[in-house]
Chain A
Amino acid sequence: MVAAAAPIGAEPPPALLAKLRLILAGVPDPEIPVLSVLDLGVVRHLRERADGTIEVGVSPTYSGCPATPVIKADIVQALTHDGFRAVTVDVLSPPWTSDWISEEGRRKLVEFGIAPPAQAVTSPRQLLQPDLAIACPRCNSTDTKKQSEFGSTPCKSLYRCESCLEPFDYFKCI
């Protein structure tokens, strides 16, 4: 599963790196398509191997997330479409954290109606503590209530706004 023995490629030159990033910025997350794989922070490295193959390191958000194989296939397909030979390798460590969602990604989440993670995961133990007040992505009220710890995908909880009465998804801190 983990291609530990794969040859370590080199960081691509800046022009190539910019081009690769532009392509990946157009690859959406299959479950939250408003985010690109770059916004989500799952692309951990881009390397150019000696034979010219582009290696993309991908970190799964949750270990059982069914979107992960789709993300990897979509990345290879997008790069292949633009004439590159590409492979993905799994990057498990350090584990993906919601802190890696970009500022741009957080903004897009709110526009899409999903509350972004409320805090940085500085101490892992804080995940056992009750959540901070989560702001409703529609009316911005913090008078919100958790309906369920788990939502429509592993990465989200279900909330309801007590002010505008709308239900909404909250992207969990992890």
Chain B
Amino acid sequence: MPHCAYVLRIADTSLILAQRLGEWVGHAPAIEEDLGLANVSLDLLGQARMLLSYAGELEGRGRSEDDLAYLREESEFLNATLVEQPNGDFGQTVVRQFLVDAWQLELYEQLLESKDPRLAEIAAKAVKETRYHLRYSAGWLVRLGDGTDESHARVQDALTRLWPLTGELFSTDEVDREIAQAGIGPAAEALLPGWSARVAAVFAEARLAAPVMSPFSWHGKQGRHSEHLGFVLAEMQSLHRAHPGATW
């Protein structure tokens, strides 16, 4: 079911990043950033809910958005490995966010042309929110990169560590190929030129050097994750697993 897997990949990437950003609530360096990160998290969660509901329909086994979010195991999550990485300091969170925002913007812009009307509809909603997310993360990346020696060193270091995880976003596999052939979504590699141009422009302004792309690729979108996802899920799913079907 490449269609369902494809939608799950986009949904899970939003969901896990939303969960990571939620960890900042009450801990961000300033009240404005606490609000900012929480707002981005909320948008991503809203997007994930629409996409998970749709994935559940495509799967045809009657699973709801909650079933998919709370009752799947680690290897069934298809998010990009990048978004499950720990928050680190505020600079590392900003770098991760920027890399993902730029990718999501490219993805949603191309999904506007999807032959799947439902996916095009969700993309039309999400693309507007994503533009604000990118403005926020790019703004901070420039401020930190072109800031003090300390802030520059920290975001450059975060970029060096996170950069190898971006390769996965642009490596086309069997699912992507079938999706692209059916006109449902762009092949993963088709997002690279737009993304590269966008991030390069901001790196120049932020005085950051883009590391060289590593030939090694992660495979989170095929359910093979780094050691960090298990911990994210343990927290995210604990209430639902302890009290199945709990509602507010």
Binding site for B on A (CB under 8 A): 1, 60, 62-66, 92-95, 97, 124-125, 127-128, 147-152, 154, 158, 172, 174
Contact = CB atoms under 8 A, between A and B. Distances in A.
B245 to A, nearest CB: 18
A174 B132 contact: yes
Given A92-B122, A147-B32, A150-B40, A62 B134 contact: no
Leading 8 A-B pairs by shortest Cβ distance: A64-B46, A63-B46, A148-B32, A64-B42, A150-B39, A127-B131, A150-B36, A93-B121
Contacts of A65: 42, 46
Contacts of A152: 35
B47 interface: yes
B44 interface: yes
Contacts of B132: 127, 149-150, 172, 174
B125 interface: yes
Contacts of B127: 124
B234 to A, nearest CB: 23
B46 A148 contact: no
16 contacts: A1-B53, A60-B125, A63-B49, A63-B126, A64-B44, A64-B47, A64-B49, A65-B42, A95-B121, A95-B128, A127-B128, A128-B135, A149-B36, A149-B139, A150-B32, A172-B132
B232 interface: no
B42 A62 contact: yes
A92 B125 contact: yes
Nearest to B123: A95
A63 B125 contact: yes
B128 A124 contact: yes
Main secondary structure of the interface of B (DSSP, over half): helix
B128 A128 contact: no
Given A174-B128, A174-B132, 12 more contacts: A64-B43, A64-B45, A65-B42, A92-B124, A124-B131, A127-B132, A127-B135, A128-B135, A148-B32, A148-B36, A150-B40, A174-B129
B136 interface: yes
B50 interface: yes
A92 B49 CA distance: 13
B121 A92 contact: yes
Interface string B97-132: 000000000000000000000000110111111011
A118 to B, nearest CB: 15
Interface in B69-96: none
B32 A158 contact: yes
B176 to A, nearest CB: 24
Contacts of B43: 62-64, 154
Contacts of A147: 32
Nearest to A98: B128
Contacts of B129: 62-63, 174
A86 B211 CA distance: 57
Contacts of B135: 127-128, 149
A46 B116 CA distance: 27
Given A148-B35, A149-B132, A63 B47 contact: yes
Nearest to A95: B125
Contacts of B44: 64
B229 to A, nearest CB: 22
B124 A149 contact: no
A60 B38 CA distance: 18
